Amino acid sequence: MRKRWERAGMEAMRMYTEKLMEHFRNPRNMGKIEDADGVGKVGNPVCGDVMYLYIKVKNNRIEDIKFETFGCAAAIGTSSMITELAKGKTIDEALKITNQNVAGELGGLPPIKMHCSVLAADALKAAIKDYLGKKKKEKA
Would you name the residues annotated as active-site residues?
A: 47, 116
Half-sphere exposure of 74 (CA within 13 A, CB side): 25
Report CA-CA distances (Å) from 1 to 9, 10, 13: 13, 15, 19
Cα(37)–Cα(135) distance, integer angstroms: 9
Half-sphere exposure of 131 (CA within 13 A, CB side): 29
Are 44 and 119 in contact by the 8 Å Cβ rule? The answer is: yes
Cα(7)–Cα(26) distance, integer angstroms: 21
